[in-house]
Structures are given as structure tokens and as C-alpha cells.
Amino acid sequence: MKLNSTFRLRNHAFACLMAPALLAQSGPMPPPPLMLFIREEIKPGKGSAHEKTEAAWTKALTKAKSTDYYMGMNALTGPSEALFVVGYGSFADWEAKQNELDKNPEAKKEIAQISEKDGELLASSRSVLGTYRKDLSYGPPVEIGKMRYFRVRTFRIKQGQNKAFEEGVKMALEGYAKSHYAASFAFYEVTAGMGSPSFIVLRPLKSLAEMDGMEASEKAFQEALGEEGRKVMQKVFADTVNAVENQLFAFNPRLSFVAPTISASDPAFWNPKPMAKETAKPAN
């Protein structure tokens, strides 16, 4: 991964649900006020090599005693992508983390070299910055270190229709609460990096088995809305939404540089053994 001062070095442009100010805590944590999403499209057949460069990145940041933590994951659907999510407490916090390595020229040089190697494995990259919308989000905070997947939904809204869209979301929230919908999701409003108005919605999952119960949950949600409510909400979204993209991502500890409080949730998962080095086979 790569962010902050490292983010500038890589010049990456497209989502740690943990704000740095909250990293001293343990257990469930609320989403951070600011989120940076970095999506990297990996060239075909370069997934293993990409993991190795990411491992080198993590090693360099650890040696430099960086506190700029992030969570990395691989796409289970759509293009061959890696997604990195980085949480910040504020824009000032983001700026401070961008400058974190400026006083460590040796680490900065090493990361620049790793960045160059990593860039050779990528077809494209993009970064997007979003601000947390608590009023549009649902469910209790989660212990992110115990999660294994993200369902990521991106809503692209028609110009001038963002307020009407938000009213539709709030109507849906009433239905979720009434039906006791068993999920948590965080809404982020895009502030930079892609066309706006747009929203990115993150739903953490402990297991893909949770998806098996979605049909029953959706049915209860629709019943809670009632016939009239369903018609109103359907019209609102038809009138306000240009497009919706749904993606599933799996957390990958080899792509991640997480805080100690995150890895403590499941040390065996977040601290995998180093990848075995390839050895040359003896000639016959």
C-alpha cells in the first residue's frame, strides 16, 4: 500500500476503518470522519508479485515506525483489483500523515524504490476521498479486526438530486430499524477523486455465509416499508440514481499494515508467516 508521504511518492489516485485517534482503543470502533480509498488494478498474472511488493512496503513502514496504518484487500468480483482503505480523524490528521516520512529520508528513499517496482505490476490506480455521513449510516460499530470481507457499493447520483437521494436513504433507514436488519454499514460522501455527487457504502462481513441470510432480511425490510413506502422509495431512487456498482472484497493481511489493536483481534490472521522464498530446482 502507500499513502500519505508514500501516497505522494506513488502519485496514486481511488477505500483501516480506524481513525488514528481511536487506535488506542480495542473492540468495536466507529468509522473515522475521513476515509481514503485507493484502488489498484493489477495486471493479469501479477497477483503474487504484487503481494511481494506490498509485503516489502509493510516491512519498510514497520522499520520506519510509521503509524499510518491501512487495510488491504483483494477483489472477489469485477476486475483484478486491490483495495486499500485508510482512516483519518480530520483533514489536518491526513496532512500530518502525508508528512510523516519527511524526517526519515532513508525510509522515504526505500519506499520510493518499492513504489517504482509496484507500479510495474499495475494497469491503473485511483484514489478517492470521502467524508463519513453518520446520518445515512446504520448499525452498531464493529470490531473490524474480526471482519474478513467488505461489500462495497458506489452510488452515482444525478446532478442536483443528492438531497432527494439522502431523503430516500433515510426512509430506508427507518425500514431497516423497524425490521431489525442485522447489519452495519458506513456511508461516505465523496469529496474528491471521482464525479460527484457520489457515495461509497461499506458493509463489513465476518463471513460470506452472512450473504445467505440477506434474502430473508430483505424480505423483512420490504415488509417493514409497506406497499406505499416501497413505491415511494423506488421512485426516489429511480429519480435520483444514475448508476450503482456492487463489489465484494476479501481482506488480505499480506496487503495490510494494521495497528496493533487491529491485529490483536485475530493475531493468527493478521500476522501470517512470511511468504516462502522460491528455491531453484536441481538440474536432472
**pLDDT tens digits, residue range 50-72?**
999 999 999 999 998 888 999 99
Instruction: Give the chain's mean pLDDT.
Output: 87
CATH number assigned to the domain covering 138-246 = 3.30.70.100
CATH of 4-132+252-266, one of 3.30.365.10, 3.90.1170.50, 2.60.40.10, 3.30.70.100: 3.30.70.100
Read off the DSSP letter of residue 16: -
Q: What is the pTM of this model?
A: 0.86
Q: Show Cβ contacts of residue 122 under 8 Å, excluding neighbours closer than 6 positions.
A: 40, 41, 42, 43, 50
Which residue intervals of the chain bear CATH 3.30.70.100? 4-132+252-266, 138-246
In angstroms, the Cα distances linking 210 to 107, 149, 151, 197, 216 are 41, 10, 11, 30, 11
Cα–Cα distance measured from residue 28 to residue 146, given in angstroms and rounded to the nearest whole number:
10
pLDDT of residue 264: 92
The three-state secondary structure class of 165 is helix
Across the range 263-284, mean pLDDT stands at 70
> Cell for 170?
433515510
Residues 73-105 pLDDT 10s:
999 999 999 999 999 999 999 999 888 888 888
pLDDT more than 70, % of the chain: 87
Whether residue 18 has pLDDT greater than 60: no
Residue 127 forms beta bridges with which residues? Answer: 38
Cα–Cα distance measured from residue 221 to residue 68, given in angstroms and rounded to the nearest whole number:
39
